Amino acid sequence: MVIMAFFSRIFFEGLMVIFKNNEYLRRIAESLEKQQQK
């Protein structure tokens, strides 16, 4: 039970980090698409 709470905590923290970096990742994806079009 404690282990499940521990992993769910890590999973939740990971999701928060992903959402915070989402705009950063989107900018990288857009820049890569622009480079491929050239």
At 22 the pLDDT is 87
How buried is 17 (Cβ within 10 angstroms: 0-12 exposed, 13-18 middle, 19+ buried)?
A: exposed
Q: Show the domain range for 19.
A: 2-37
Name the token pair of 9. 């905590």
**Chain center to CA of 32:** 17
Tens-place pLDDT, residues 1-38:
899 999 999 999 998 888 888 888 888 889 988 998 86
How many independent structural domains does the chain possess? 1
User: Residue 36 phi/psi, 5° resolution?
Assistant: -70, -30
pTM of the model: 0.44
